[in-house]
């Protein structure tokens, strides 16, 4: 692997603040995205099945359940980028195309799945899911995201000039006067894009509370979490001689070292801020969080976002039916739902099953 390259988003901090301890605490580090391209000889019969199912989904206006080689998936009514067929699975998204100009398969595992089972185990899962239908698949890596999460770093928008970046492109994002993140480089180069942003804010917005479990007891809810993230596109991966998923996992540590240190002979002699030294030394040890902890965190996040809306709607219902207490309101709710079932011709358990499928594949 070539670690002497200096990608367009090569990032090093030069705060020139002396050598006092930074006080930064690493919460987690590793691989957060591993997108795959797969070469396979997809049978024509499968394309026929997918075309019929996609047409049905389009006519219904909603994703439709589908079985491929006995494996349950859901097909979307839309494409997945340049891939005509978009299959939705609880552990990720799969694109399939008949085009000879693209790899036949595209796989985007969910972040929470990567963290719950580990990256190579996630790749093996998609082998087992797809190969009974499409035959042997040779996966290569189309995108790799490396990350490290820290607390104890005080950053402002003015600090954007204190980062040594080979490329000229840098963007600053703020919410009012509060810094929310930096982006260095451009995704369109398909080489390396670097991001530093408030992951805690992102977790609150998306409901991905499983990160609380990954961060563990070191996490202080009262302080922001700064994520340092490098996104390597296909061209960047090839420059580093990373091709297969195994290459990506084995090279993660060396990639992090190369991407956080400068090869510029003059700049390499500049004093490096202790905060960035902590970033350079991130463990990226690839540990995974137990699946049940990740699932529990996802559930907590979903409830946190749902409950305010649910309580508001229930309060409106109480006003309509004339109740005050929660227990009385719930007693009135049950017959009201039964009446709706009778007039609209549906069953509550059917609605639950439908929403469960949607939640699993959204």
248 contacts 141 by C-beta, under 8 angstroms: yes
**Can you give the residue ranges of every domain in the chain?**
1-34+142-289, 41-136, 306-361
Closest of 185, 233, 211 to residue 114, by C-alpha: 211
Strands, E assignment, the chain: 11-13, 25-39, 64-68, 71-75, 85-89, 92-96, 105-109, 138-151, 163-165, 170-175, 178-184, 192-198, 226-232
pTM for the predicted model, two decimal places: 0.75
274 contacts 182 by C-beta, under 8 angstroms: no
Residue 141 CB contacts under 8 Å (≥ 6 apart), including other chains:
34, 35, 36, 37, 234, 237, 242, 243, 244, 245, 247, 248
Tokens of 202: 């992102």
Closest of 66, 145, 161, 158 to residue 110, by C-alpha: 145
- Measured from the Cβ of residue 284, the count of other Cβ atoms closer than 10 Å reads 20
Q: How far is CA 190 from the centre of its chain?
A: 18
pLDDT given for residue 166 in this prediction: 65
- Kindly give the confidence (pLDDT) of every residue in the chain, 362 residues in length, as a single tens digit, with 9 standing for 90 and above: 333 333 344 454 444 444 444 688 999 999 999 999 999 999 999 999 999 999 999 999 999 999 988 888 999 999 999 999 999 999 999 999 999 999 999 999 999 999 989 999 999 999 999 999 999 999 999 999 999 999 998 887 777 777 776 666 778 887 777 788 888 888 888 899 999 999 999 998 888 888 988 898 999 999 999 999 999 999 999 999 999 999 999 899 889 988 888 655 545 556 778 888 889 889 884 444 444 544 555 566 667 767 888 888 899 999 999 999 999 999 999 899 988 888 888 888 888 877 776 665 55
């Amino acid at each position: 692997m070539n670690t002497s390259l200096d990608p367009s988003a090569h990032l090093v901090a030069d705060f020139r603040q002396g050598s006092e301890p930074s006080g930064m605490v690493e919460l987690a580090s590793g691989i957060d995205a591993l997108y795959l391209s797969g070469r396979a000889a997809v049978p024509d019969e499968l394309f026929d099945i997918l075309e019929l199912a996609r047409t049905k989904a389009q006519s219904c206006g909603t994703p439709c359940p589908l079985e491929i080689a006995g494996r349950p998936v859901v097909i979307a009514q839309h494409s997945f980028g340049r891939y005509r067929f978009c299959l939705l699975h609880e552990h990720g998204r799969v694109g399939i195309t008949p085009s000879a100009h693209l790899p036949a398969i595209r796989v985007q595992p969910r972040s929470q799945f990567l963290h719950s089972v580990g990256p190579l185990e996630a790749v093996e899962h998609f082998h087992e899911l797809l190969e009974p239908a499409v035959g042997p698949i040779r996966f290569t890596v189309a995108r790799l995201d490396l990350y490290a999460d820290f607390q104890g770093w005080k950053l402002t928008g003015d600090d954007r000039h204190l980062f040594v970046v080979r490329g000229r492109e840098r963007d600053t994002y703020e919410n009012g006067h509060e810094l929310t993140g930096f982006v260095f480089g451009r995704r369109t180069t398909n080489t390396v894009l670097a991001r530093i942003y408030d992951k805690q804010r992102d977790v609150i917005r998306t409901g991905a509370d499983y990160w609380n479990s990954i961060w563990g007891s070191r996490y202080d809810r009262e302080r922001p979490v700064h994520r340092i993230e490098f996104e390597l596109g296909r061209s960047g991966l090839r420059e580093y001689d990373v091709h297969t998923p195994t290459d990506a996992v084995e090279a993660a540590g060396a990639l992090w070292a190369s991407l956080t240190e400068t090869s510029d002979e003059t700049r390499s002699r500049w004093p490096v801020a202790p905060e960035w030294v902590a970033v350079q030394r991130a463990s990226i040890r690839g540990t995974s969080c137990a699946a049940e902890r990740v699932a529990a965190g996802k559930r907590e996040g979903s409830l946190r976002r749902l409950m305010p809306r649910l309580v508001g709607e229930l309060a409106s219902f109480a006003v309509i039916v004339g109740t005050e207490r929660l227990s009385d309101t719930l007693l009135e709710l049950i017959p009201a739902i039964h009446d709706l079932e009778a007039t609209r011709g549906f069953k509550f358990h059917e609605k639950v099953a439908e929403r469960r499928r949607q939640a699993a594949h959204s």
